Amino acid sequence: MMKGKMKAQMFYAPGDVRFEEIDIPQPNKNEILVKIKAALTCGTDLKTYRRGHPSIIKSVPSTFGHEFSGEVVEVGAKVDHFQVGDRVVGANSAPCFHCYFCKQKMYSLCENLEFLNGAYSEYVVVPQQIVKYNYYKIPDSLSYQEAALVEPLACALHGIDRTPIKVGETVVVAGAGPIGLMFVKLATLKGARVISVDLSAYRLEQAKRFGALLTVNAGKADLVKDVRERTELGKGADVVIEATGFPEVWEQAVKMARPGGLVNLFGGTKAGTTFNIDCQKFHYTELTVKAVFHHTPYHVKKALELLATGQVDGKMFISGSYPLEKTIDALESISRQEGIKYAILP
């Protein structure tokens, strides 16, 4: 059993994260201990740093961060499909498979999701349910940094999988952060004509690299009109995917869709916020407005396959790296839109 101390970023309160030395966590007989080789910055972790998180951080102080890959250094006595030395990656949660929603195969709505938190540290224990259902060996062809993209890509895959897109349709992706860029790539793979919308000129240029045929700066005075004019006959987009998490963008997204179109409100908003919709337009133009949350075990597996086969080039998402002690600097960099994602290297 590995004992001793490790370095970790510890969350105490919103805005209060401390780089400390703590005990290396100990796995039980159904768990594995992983030495983290690469963690990634994420908008969710930035939000957690700034305002906490009700489901991921339930008590403080707590380790945080949830996108990572690593090497198995200890295996519980009852774990038989991993061994010391395996290069591994997986999701930050796993469903229970026995609650009401799991029985309906709505795994992202599981009432007993078991979360994994602690990517911004040197070691992490992977809980039993995740080890059993949502963890995989990394193919030799894939680097640790690329593999760490599995979790966010699984979320985007879940979103695109539940957003019917036909070849040749116009898809607007509002937001060109990491998840928005993943949606641009995935919609392009489905044969869509993608329009990327964002406030950042840098991110819009990145969107072109991921397959966007057109870009629109969200700072324009009449954004909705500008976007609609770029669609067939000016009718509006067949599909709009919102990937920012701001209610005002939710409202814009609904207005960008054509009659009979579909709007996927994927970006998570701050608790207690609301948005408005024109009820008459919603009804008489037969809009479909839906939300998609999180990922499922199926999409985690498929995300790893897409990265391993190169259908999604993970290297394109990594803008640089920071040492573990500079994690907050990395998060602040993405808040200033200075890159897509940064690798945190313990």
**What average pLDDT does this structure show over 296-312?**
98
Cis peptide bond prior to 164, omega within 30° of 0:
no
Query: The pTM is what?
Result: 0.96
Q: DSSP letter for 326, please.
A: G
Round to whole Å and give the CA distance between 126 and 72. Answer: 10
Element (H, E) at 100: helix 100-103
* Domain 163-290: assigned CATH number: 3.40.50.720
What backbone torsions phi and psi does residue 309 show, to the nearest 5 degrees? -85, -10
Q: Which residues pair with 171 in a beta bridge?
A: 194, 239
pLDDT value for 174: 98
Could you read off the pLDDT of 170-205 as tens digits, one per residue?
A: 999 999 999 999 999 999 999 999 999 999 999 999
DSSP state of 302: H
Q: What is the pLDDT of residues 283-300, one digit of tens each?
A: 999 999 999 999 999 999
Structure tokens at 288: 């479909």
pLDDT tops 80 at residue 1: no
CA distance 269 to 261: 22
DSSP, res 54: T
DSSP string, 199-215: S-HHHHHHHHHTT-SEE
256: which 2 tokens?
């960008």
Amino acid at 41: T
Mean pLDDT of the chain: 96
Tell me the CA end-to-end span of the chain in Å, nearest whole number: 21
How far apart CA 242 and CA 176 sit, in angstroms, is 10
Radius of gyration, alpha carbons of the chain: 20
Domain 5-154+295-345 has CATH 3.40.718.10: no
Structural domain spans, the chain? 5-154+295-345, 163-290
pLDDT given for residue 53 in this prediction? 77
